Amino acid sequence: MFCYQCQETAGCSGCTRAGVCGKTAETANLQDLLIDVTRGLCAVTARLRAEGKPVSDVIDTLVTENLFVTITNANFDNDAIRARISQTIEHTQALRAQLSDASGLPENALWDGSGDWDARAKTVGVLATDDADVRSLRELITYGLKGMAAYNHHINAYGKRVASVDAFLQQALAKTRDDSLSVNDLIALTLETGKYGVDAMAALDEANTSAYGNPEITKVNLGVRSNPGILISGHDLHDLEMLLEQTAGTGVDVYTHSEMLPAHYYPAFKKYPHFVGNYGNAWWKQKEEFEAFGGPILLTTNCLVPPKDSYRDRVYTTGAVGFPGCAHIEADENGHKDFSALIAHAKRCPSPTELETGEIVGGFAHNQVLALADKVVDAVKSGAIKKFVVMAGCDGRAKSRNYYTDFAKALPKDTVILTAGCAKYKYNKLDLGDIGGIPRVLDAGQCNDSYSLAVIALKLKEVFGLDDINDLPIVYNIAWYEQKAVIVLLALLHLGVKNIHLGPTLPAFLSENVAKVLVENFGIAGITTVEDDLRLFFGDA
């Protein structure tokens, strides 16, 4: 195996024996094979579109799900991945027959599934590309597409589709093994990936807010009640809605974990009296927190940490998530999911063990912040707010991530943190106070809600009459972990944001030359120490 798609990759260079995430070499190789056959399918769908022929929703969904399944901490179930490989090959063969001209297709679009899969899997992964810069760009694009696919999956969950996003996803994925593309072509494709990333996040924002209303300032309870409970994690709000509907009146409470916390900010979910609050912290603390919860847990997306034996039977997966030995809830043909097994399971379990008490405040997505725009603009004009610090992104296990807690604590008191994603757990429970009633940590929501932060920045640019988004008093100190952070980064670059600091380490998949391109054109930089970075951002004053 060779995998270096996430920030925790072994030795900051690549996992080669097993994943730090818990992925076995066999799973990693099967995921490589799944990506490769999906590339083959996409080579065919790109041709079909070029011939003016339709590509069905079934195929668009298959590509999206295949990519999502290979995101860090999503799926560890080899049988599920093998089934997807078979299904993908079958569809590729059937679609190939619809082409008027099938000449010149790549080998992965022609493979019929025969031969030794394990042997083949070892030849189609990251290291199949020899040139370091081409490999780096191909992987950067592929990881951006995986992030885009995750957001596309959520759009699709509402029965909505963005044809241009599906078409781009497939065309771009096919190009990640197209030897006719030069390094410059691949750089252009990287930036184009950011454009479609913005489109996907905008469409998801529209889908979420039209279904559940605009997030609003909300106090979220951190304590527990005495009823049995179900803990729901991941990012899928549509799954949450179905769970809340089905648990209503059953005596079973529902709590959020990690990236599901922002669900509490949506008006539509406030009508459920049994939607109690948020339990615990970011994904990487789940071993202790799932143990303590005591009841069933539903993982709707990543991040899943391989569960301990002591609570594995309480972990249920759905969507792109899978783990051997954990029950998987499939949707029926209408997209409905039956959570009765979790509800029955919850009733057999004790109520959750309390981890903490109190409340946290969030709900500062674009609509809410823009409703406060006058107040915010006045605070900037009066000098009460000197700078905004975007600290969106992911949290993770590495001790070096304590930097973000220390950085948040050490920030000048006239700064406001704008956050989204699970990175927030490094500082959202600190008492950082407020500036004239504006909390110093404004949580927009999940990682995809980084889009909200861009909307806010663009609005401020307009209000202040600036020509360049980079002239705003905003600095970017982003934490990354998995591939959704990659699409968020590419989206910000597309919007013209410069000088983004990325930590706790720069991606291992950036070759020296590709890193140089990002530094020279976009001012991308890493992080150093809290003291030095504060000096860099705010000067010595």
Residues contributing to the annotated binding site: 3, 6, 15, 21, 235, 259, 303, 394, 422, 447, 482, 484
CB of 230 to ligand FS2, least distance (A): 18
Per rule CB under 6 A, is residue 261 in the interface with ligand FS2?
Answer: no
Please give the residues from 414 up to 433 whose contact with ligand FS2 meets the rule CB under 6 A: 421-422
Among 72, 214, 318, 428, binds ligand SF4 (CB under 6 A): 72
Pairing of strands 315-318, 297-299: parallel
Separation between Cα atoms, residue 340 and residue 346, nearest integer Å: 10
4 binds, among ligand FS2, ligand SF4, none (CB under 5 to 8 A by kind): ligand SF4
Q: Which single residue brings its beta carbon nearest to ligand SF4?
A: 19
Q: Return the range that interacts with ligand SF4 (CB under 6 A); candidates 15-23, 257-265, 315-323, 424-432.
A: 15-23
Report phi then psi at 215, rounded to 5.
-50, 140
Separation between Cα atoms, residue 296 and residue 312, nearest integer Å: 9
Per rule CB under 6 A, is residue 4 in the interface with ligand SF4?
Answer: yes
Cβ distance to ligand SF4 smaller for residue 21 or 329: 21
Among 152, 246, 302, 511, binds ligand FS2 (CB under 6 A): 302
Separation between Cα atoms, residue 493 and residue 487, nearest integer Å: 10
Q: Name the residue among 136, 147, 177 with its Cα closest to residue 39.
A: 177
**Binding-site size, ligand SF4 (CB under 6 A):** 13
Cβ distance to ligand FS2 smaller for residue 47 or 484: 484
Per rule CB under 6 A, is residue 28 in the interface with ligand SF4?
Answer: yes
CA dihedral 36, 234, 209, 219 (to 10 degrees): -160
Q: Name the residue among 256, 209, 264, 207 with its Cα closest to residue 234.
A: 256
Per rule CB under 6 A, is residue 9 in the interface with ligand SF4?
Answer: yes
Burial label for 249, CB within 10 Å (0-12, 13-18, 19+), is exposed
Signed CA dihedral, 466, 472, 476, 482: sign only: negative
Per rule CB under 6 A, is residue 300 in the interface with ligand FS2?
Answer: no
Please give the residues from 264 up to 283 whose contact with ligand FS2 meets the rule CB under 6 A: 283
Q: Are 500 and 523 in contact (CB under 8 A)?
A: yes
Q: Return the range that interacts with ligand SF4 (CB under 6 A); candidates 5-13, 217-225, 235-243, 341-349.
A: 5-13
41 binds, among ligand FS2, ligand SF4, none (CB under 5 to 8 A by kind): none
Separation between Cα atoms, residue 172 and residue 186, nearest integer Å: 10
Q: Are 297 and 229 in contact (CB under 8 A)?
A: no
Per rule CB under 6 A, is residue 319 in the interface with ligand FS2?
Answer: no
Per rule CB under 6 A, is residue 303 in the interface with ligand FS2?
Answer: yes
Q: Which residues contact 289 (CB under 8 A, 6 or more apart)?
A: 257, 279, 280, 281, 355
Q: Which residues contact 255 (CB under 8 A, 6 or more apart)?
A: 224, 229, 230, 231, 232, 276, 277, 278, 279, 293, 352
Cβ distance to ligand SF4 smaller for residue 508 or 524: 508
- Under the rule (CB under 6 A), what is the footprint of ligand FS2? 258-259, 283, 302-303, 394, 421-422, 446-447, 481-482, 484
- Under the rule (CB under 6 A), what is the footprint of ligand SF4? 3-6, 8-9, 15, 19-21, 23, 28, 72
